[in-house]
Structure 1
Amino acid sequence: MIIDCDPGVDDAVGLLLAFGSPELDLKAITTVGGNVPVEKTARNARIIRQVAGRDEVPVYAGAARPLVREPAGAGEFHGAEGLGDLAAVEPDAPVADGSAVDAIVRIVMEAEPRSVALAVMGPMTNVALALRAEPKLAERLGPVVVMGGARAEGGNITASAEFNIWADPDAAAEVFASGCEMVVFGLDATHQVRATEERIAAVEAVGNASADMAAAMLRFSQRIERTIVGWDAAPLHDPCTVAWLLKPGLFKLTPCRIEVETVSDLTRGHTAVEFRVEADKARHLWAVEADGQGVFDLIVERLGAAA
């Protein structure tokens, strides 16, 4: 698999979950500008990789800005450097040579069709650019597992839009229209996966470097969520992509067709999720239910086995 991300505190937990899961053959981490600028997301991915002791997994830097819009970050929810309260240090290992887009194209096209999953935890800019560079990716990727969008829950950046989609709605619209098989975890599902006090304490109790980092991310999110939003337990968004790949029974999915609003400023990034589709022809699956305790149990299990 490939993970495309913009770390980001919840991206960090998702990466640590993936790094701690030996059945995932991680071919690359690709980064994109999103929660913080791309130079910080590329650095943060390498910091997380170093903590996990997985320096053999290459990190490629990707798109610095959306396809057609101005960049917009979410530092208030992730900290100025993107890793909550943790200090930003320069990792020992550099970024890999080459671009994220080229890496995605090369890895997928060299593999057997539909043998490489792509987990997308940030704006879809890299993915859209890769599909532009090689349209055959749409039929060779399998599947594209996305954290993004909202339907019943409403948005978290505007009234109707979730941040990852809103940050580059044009890229998201292209990817959803590409024909890729996509499994999508929007706020409808991720709001069911809450970092309660008991769940954070269980991560803290693991007591190794990976778990300590994950717990620090969760504590930061808990404090910010209480301060800005007023909720007691922050939702855990991005790790749902990796959790589904590891244990799909934790989620209930419904076939659908997803389109993204790119014209209206008022509803920019809104995901129109249409369930009235023929299930056997649907290219999109929308997560409607999540086992929050099961997701955290999985995180604790995998972090507990980490080096």
Structure 2
Amino acid sequence: MPIKVIVDTDTGVDDAMGCALALRSPELDVLAFTSVFGNVSVELTTENTAYLMEVFGRPDIPLAKGAGRALVGTPNYSPFVHGDDGVGNAGFDKAKTVKPVQQSAAELTVELGRKHPGEITYIALGPLTNLALALAIDPDLPKYLPRVVWMGGAAFVPGNVTPVAEADAWHDPEGAQMVLQQAGWHIDMVGLDVTDDTILVEEDLKRLEAGSAQGRYIAAMMPFYMRFYSAKLGQYACAAHSALTVAIVADPAIVTREEKYPVQVELTGKLTRGMTIADRRTNNSNGGSPEWKDTPLTNILIDVDRPRFREMFLSRIET
């Protein structure tokens, strides 16, 4: 039976890849998409998600607009990464049939969690603001929503928006801290430790360009993103952060190494705000450190089968 999922997304280029893979994975049953600010404004991430749902022929799935800002502070976008529109300045039309439901993302998340208790995996591809707000509505949410898979954080590698902070943690550190400190759910952190070097190259772009209309849609937004990554990677390529996150839910065998540690998010440091800190003094069995004895363990992905992921993604999107 397919795994029921809610996909929470700040739809930029890699997030669109992840949403597309969710829709093309028979192992997953997408109950809803929820949008959040992050790569671009929530207005744009909502529109980008709506258009993607039309391209993939799934206007039947509810789409709920979420938070337009973090719990603390004001949004700070990076159009040089994903383009002014969030999808590589590809010039797509606006969605014609898909419109957001009346409920907020947090409200819909709580409703679906109560409707399908214990059955839903929450896939977060952006800041954790919507889930933090859902938790504020219903503190018992982890009883209904047992697993969270978050594309965010960086435990053992440098950050990407500051020397120590990954973008989605940095966009809303308070939201991330609120979620990570809540006991009762299993959290997988799919951070830069595994996503930053899980890449798609020019050969993959050409494969998508030669494929289906949906493959060409994804390919149209990739060049802008790949040009940004070229300086970092030394080749015409891009990281597939969000697609990898979705893939590990659909195919757990992609994960080859994972370890559990207490994780907290730095909230106050001028140079370290948004840093995700794993207390590596602990081991996987003792359940906590002396200073963080009440901090739940987070399952951190350490390594993945990249060829397996790449073929899974390309074969499902190109057809």
SS at match of 2:263: strand
d(CA) in 2 for partners of 1:131 and 1:167? 18
Cα contact 1:60–1:100 (8 A) shared by 2 = yes
Shift of 1:273: 1.5
Please say if 1:80 is aligned against 2:77.
no
Deviations 1:183-215 (A, max 9, x none): 01110100231112233333333x112111222
- Number of aligned residue pairs: give it: 302
Runs of 4+ in 1 over 3 A off after TM superposition: 277-283
SS at match of 1:285: strand
d(CA) in 2 for partners of 1:33 and 1:123? 8
Please say if 1:5 is aligned against 2:9.
yes
d(CA) in 2 for partners of 1:221 and 1:286? 26
- Aligned match of 1:284: 298
SS at match of 2:30: coil
Please say if 1:293 is aligned against 2:297.
no
Shift of 1:73: 1.1
Deviations 1:156-199 (A, max 9, x none): 00000000000000100000001231001110100231112233
Deviations 1:278-302 (A, max 9, x none): 4485641101112222111111222
SS at match of 2:117: coil
Please say if 1:274 is aligned against 2:279.
yes
- Aligned match of 2:259: 254
SS at match of 2:28: coil
Cα contact 1:259–1:273 (8 A) shared by 2 = yes
Seen in structure 2, the aligned counterparts of structure 1 residues 55 and 263 have a Cα distance that, compared at 3 Å, is same
Please say if 1:208 is aligned against 2:222.
no
Shift of 1:234: 1.9
1:97-246 equivalence runs, <5 A: 97-113=102-118, 115-179=119-183, 180-205=185-210, 207-227=211-231, 229=232, 231-232=234-235, 233-246=237-250
The normalised TM-score by structure 1 is 0.94
d(CA) in 2 for partners of 1:88 and 1:304? 19
Shift of 1:230: 5.6
The normalised TM-score by structure 2 is 0.90
| Long gaps (5+) in structure 2 | 288-295
SS at match of 1:98: coil
Cα contact 1:18–1:24 (8 A) shared by 2 = yes
C-alpha RMSD of the superposition:
1.6
d(CA) in 2 for partners of 1:224 and 1:304? 23
Shift of 1:88: 4.1
d(CA) in 2 for partners of 1:95 and 1:53? 16
SS at match of 1:25: strand
Q: Given residue 81 of structure 2, which amino acid in structure 1 is its aligned partner?
A: F
**Which residue, out of 89, 92, 95, partners 1:91?**
95
| Long gaps (5+) in structure 1 | none
**Which residue, out of 33, 36, 43, partners 1:32?**
36
Cα contact 1:51–1:210 (8 A) shared by 2 = yes
Cα contact 2:170–2:274 (8 A) shared by 1 = yes
Deviations 1:68-114 (A, max 9, x none): 1111112110000101031142201211221111000000011132x
d(CA) in 2 for partners of 1:174 and 1:277? 23
Select between 137-146 and 48-57 the one with higher mean Cα deviation.
137-146
Deviations 1:131-172 (A, max 9, x none): 011011123213100001113320100000000000000100
